[in-house]
Amino acid sequence: MPWTAVPTLEESKRKIEELVKAKGFGNTPQDIPNKLLFAFIELGEAGDSWKKGKAVEETVEELIDVIFYVLDASRLIAPNANMDEAFEKKWAKNMGRPFQYGEGFRSKQAG
């Protein structure tokens, strides 16, 4: 199956599944907690890379690792969920919120 130049979330999810199976990585619901933990660890590595002023490519690679783990976990948590549709639904929900919804809330709490 040929892949588009820029894969959708769903295409990426299938590519990650292919990678997981080809490399023998955990592929059961019992592996979900580790996949979510690894996503968190990779996010920390991205933050550390950015904070230390490392090459942008290194930071971006760490962020891609986060996406890999999140999409991998998503396919085990909800195999039939369409992540492209879920993204659009969540995007629309956030667009419907007031300006600086989260920032304004934090400002009120701090004051």
Task: For residues 29 and 55, state if they share a domain.
Answer: yes
The pLDDT-based confidence of 68 (bands split at 50, 70, 90) is very high
In a domain, 93, yes or no: yes
Count Cα atoms within 13 angstroms, Cβ side, for 59: 10
Task: For residues 36 and 73, state if they share a domain.
Answer: yes
With beta carbons less than 8 A apart as the criterion, state whether 8 and 63 touch. Answer: no
Non-local CB neighbours of 5 within 8 Å, separated by 6+ positions: none
Which residue range(s) make up the domain with 27?
Answer: 9-80
Domain count of the fold of the chain: 2
pTM for the whole structure: 0.83
Task: For residues 21 and 44, state if they share a domain.
Answer: yes
In a domain, 61, yes or no: yes
Task: For residues 68 and 99, state if they share a domain.
Answer: no
Q: Give me the percent of the chain exceeding a pLDDT of 90.
A: 81
